[in-house]
Chain A
Amino acid sequence: MTLTRRQALGLSAGAAAFLAFGTKAGLAASDATEAAIKAFTGGAMPGSGKVSLDTPEIAENGNTVPVGVSVDSPMTADNYVVAVMILADGNPNPAVATFNFSTMSGSAEAKTRIRLAKTQNVIAVAKMSDGSTYMDTKEVKVTIGGCGG
C-alpha cells in the first residue's frame, strides 16, 4: 500500500500547505498585504489598539479557520466603526473579507471562517468614522500534528 503524504501524515490543510509550512510568517507584511491595507485606509498604515482579532494559535483545519474580530467603539453617530477588513498575509490575494458597519449595527463584531494554506499572519484593520485606522495581527500556525503526549 502506498499512502499519499496526506494520508500518512494527517495533513489537514492539503498538500500545498505541507510543502510550504516550513516557512514561518515574518512580522513584516508582504507587499501585496501592505498595498491592500493602504488601499483600504486611504494610504496610511494603521496604529495598534481598539481592534482585537480572535484566532486559534494553531489551526485545527487549515481549510476552515474560525476568525473573529471586535472593535472597541460606542457606535454612536459621531463615533463608530465604518468597516473592518480581514487579511491573510500568506494569500496571493491577501484581502479575504470586509465587513461594513453603521451606527445601526450596535456593536462592531464579526465572525467568519477563512482558508489558510500555510502558517501566516492574519490581520484585521478597522476604519473609524473619524478616519482613524487601527489593526491587530495574529500568527496562525498550520501544522501536521500527530504526536501529542
Chain B
Amino acid sequence: MFSRREFLMAATATSALLGSGMAGNWSRLLAQQGLTEDLLLGMQPKGNLTLVHITDIHAQLKPIYFREPSINLGIGDVEGKPPHVTGADFLKLYNIQPGSPDAYALTSDDFVNLAKSYGRFGGLDRVATVIKRIRAERGEENVLLLDGGDTWQGSYTSNITEGQDMITVMNALNPDAMTGHWEFTYGEDRVKEVIESLPFSFLGSNIYDSEWDEPAFEPWKMFERGGSKVAVIGQAFPYTPIANPRWMIPGWSFGIREEDIATHVEDARSEGADVVVLLSHNGFDVDRKLASRVDGIDVILTGHTHDALPEPVIINNTLVIASGSNGKFVSRVDLDVQDGKIAGYGYRLIPIFSDVITPDPEMAALIDEVRAPYEAELGRKLGTTESLLYRRGNFNGTFDDLICQALLEERDAQIALSPGFRWGTSLLPGQDITFEDLHNACAMTYPAAYRSTMTGQMLKDILEDVGDNLFNKDPYYQQGGDMVRVGGMGYTIAPNKDIGERITDMTLLATGEAIDPAKDYVVAGWASVNEGTEGPAIWDVVESHITKNPTVKLPDNQSVKVVGI
C-alpha cells in the first residue's frame, strides 16, 4: 500500500473533495489530481523474484463497486486478529487515515460518500495494465502470475458461457498456474475439457479420485524465475463437494489433506526448490492454521474468504498474503532469495482504482468482444435502488435482503433462506439496477428457487449447522462463507457457543410469535446443493419482484441479534 509520504500526498489532494456530496466526474478529476497510476504501483523493489497474486475475481470483467464487510467476526484464537478486524479498528491497526483512498478500498466506513469520490474498482483491462507494468519493471522471466481461483463464476456472461468469457480473458493475461473452487460447479466434464485447453497448469494437491482415492490433479509445479527454483503447490477449496453440489463432481473428493502438502514441500525442497509457495483456496483462518502446522512454506497466497490485507500476516516464517476479491486488488510480492532462503521481501496490495489506472487497450477490446453478444441484455434496466445494495457481512447484506423479500413475495412463503455467499457486487443509492447487476448477485449453475415446508426444528438445525461452519473454534471445520440470510424470521446468535447452542429466540416476524419446533412453515430458498431441486431460477424470481417494485428501498435489517461478543 502507500508509503506514508505517498499517502499524505494523496490525502492532501483529495481532502478538499471529501464530503462534497458530488458524484460523477469528481472521481476522475480526483484521480487526475491526487492518485496516479505510478503512485498506486510504485514500491521499493526487493530481490529478483516477484509473485503476482489475484484471486476470487468472480468473473468481474468490468469495474464494480465492492463494499468490504463491517462485521467479520473471528472466533477462538483468531478473535480480533486480521482479517477479523473491520471499520475504524482496521484503520487504526494499519495506520490508515479515515476518508483516504486506502480507507475506501479496505473498509466499509463512509462507503457511499467515498465511492462517489473515488469511483469503482477493478476491471480486468486495468488489472492487465498493472500486470504488464510489473512484468516490464521486473523482467518477464522474474515474475510468476498466480490465480487463486473462483475466477470463472459470478456473472451472467460467465454463467451462460460456462466460464468461457473468463477463460479467454485470463488466458490473455498469461498466468503461470491457478487452482479453483466455483470452477467445479460447471461440472466434471466441463472442468476437464477446460483444463486440457489451458496454456498453464490447474493445480490441486487436495483433489482425489473419489473411487480409487488417488490424486486426480497435478499437485504442484516447479518454475524457474528470477534465478530461483520456485515450487507452487495448488490447494483447491477443501469443502467444494459439501458447500457446493457433490453430484456435479461425483468423481472427485477434496479435503484439507495437510499431510499431502507437507509431503509436496519436502519433495520440492529435495528437488532443489529455493522458494515454496502454496496457491491456496483454503480461506484465511484455515491457511493461518496450516502455516502453523506445516513447516517450510515461504508464502501462502490465500483466497476464498475474500479478505484484503495491506500487509502479510507472518505465521511460522510463512508470509500469508490476502489479496481481496472481484478484481479489486492485485498483490505484488517481491522476494530476495539468497542461498535457497528468503532473505527479505517487499509487499504491495495494489488497489485497482478504475479511474486511476489506464485500461490496457488490447484487453479492453477483448473484454468488449466477449461481452458483445450479451451487451443489450446486460444493460437492461430493471429498477432503481434508493438503498446501498451490498452483500458482505457475517449476518446479512442488503442485496440478500432484497433477494429474501423477492422470495417471500414471489413464492408466497413465510420464511426465506438465501445462502451467505461472499461474492456479489455493490450498488450505490440512486443507481439503476441492471440485468447484469442482478446476475452479479446470483449467477450460478444451480439457481432453482425451491418452495418447501420445514418444521421449526429443521430451521433451527439449519441455522446451527451453518453457524458452526462459520464459527467453529477449529478453523479446519470452517467452510468460509457467511451465515445463511433469513427473511421473515428473526433470531439471536451467540457465535462463541457450540453447535446446538448458538441459536435462540427464533421469531416469525409477520406475527411476532416464537417459532414452534413442531410446526410446519412454508420456506422459499435457492442454491440447494441437492440434485433435482425444482423451481424457477432465482434471477427470474428477483427480476419479477423488482419489475413489480421498481424502486428498491430496504428498511434497516434488525432481525439478527448477536450476543456474547
Contact = CB atoms under 8 A, between A and B. Distances in A.
Nearest to A61: B246
Contacts of A24: 498-500
A84 B468 CA distance: 32
B237 A148 contact: yes
Nearest to A141: B477
B163 interface: no
B186 interface: no
A149 B423 contact: yes
A145 B245 CA distance: 9
A119 B474 CA distance: 15
Contacts of A145: 239, 242-243, 469, 479, 529
Contact of B462 (A7, A9, A148): A9
B477 A66 contact: no
B450 interface: yes
A21 B458 CA distance: 11
Interface string A1-32: 11101111111100000110111100000000
A78 B15 CA distance: 80
Contacts of B242: 12, 58, 60, 143, 145-146, 148
Contact of B528 (A7, A12, A111, A149): A7
A143 B246 CA distance: 13
A54 B306 CA distance: 30
A144 interface: yes
A8 B469 contact: no
B239 A148 contact: yes
A148 B479 contact: yes
A149 B283 contact: yes
B245 A147 contact: no
Interface string A106-149: 00000100000001000000000000000000000101111111
Nearest to B241: A60
Contacts of A111: 213
A9 B253 contact: no
Contacts of A57: 255-256, 474, 476-477
Nearest to A55: B255
A1 B450 contact: yes
Contacts of B358: none
B533 interface: yes
B181 A148 contact: yes
A42 interface: no
A147 B464 contact: no
A111 B420 CA distance: 36
Contacts, number: 137
A18 B419 contact: no
B465 A21 contact: yes
B243 A22 contact: no
B324 interface: no
A9 B533 CA distance: 10
Contacts of B466: 144, 146-147
Contacts of B484: 147
Interface string B233-275: 0000101111111100000011110010000000000000000
A8 B413 CA distance: 15
B77 interface: no
B479 A9 contact: no
Contacts of A19: 461
Contacts of A43: none
A56 interface: yes
Interface in A33-73: 54, 56-58, 60-61, 66
A11 B461 CA distance: 12
A144 B461 CA distance: 9
A10 B527 CA distance: 10
A5 B306 CA distance: 31
Contacts of A1: 450-452, 534-535
Contacts of A2: 452-453
Given A57-B255, A145-B529, 9 more contacts: A9-B458, A9-B528, A9-B530, A12-B246, A22-B499, A60-B246, A146-B242, A148-B237, A149-B479
15 contacts: A10-B246, A18-B458, A22-B464, A57-B256, A57-B476, A143-B242, A143-B465, A145-B469, A145-B479, A145-B529, A146-B243, A146-B466, A147-B243, A149-B305, A149-B480
Interface of B: 181, 210, 213, 237, 239-246, 253-256, 259, 283, 304-306, 419-423, 450-454, 458, 461-462, 464-466, 468-469, 474, 476-477, 479-482, 484, 498-500, 523, 525, 527-530, 532-535
Interface of A: 1-3, 5-12, 18-19, 21-24, 54, 56-58, 60-61, 66, 111, 119, 141, 143-149
Q: What are the 7 A-B residue pairs with the smallest beta carbon separation, nearest first? A: A148-B243, A10-B529, A145-B242, A149-B480, A22-B500, A149-B422, A149-B481
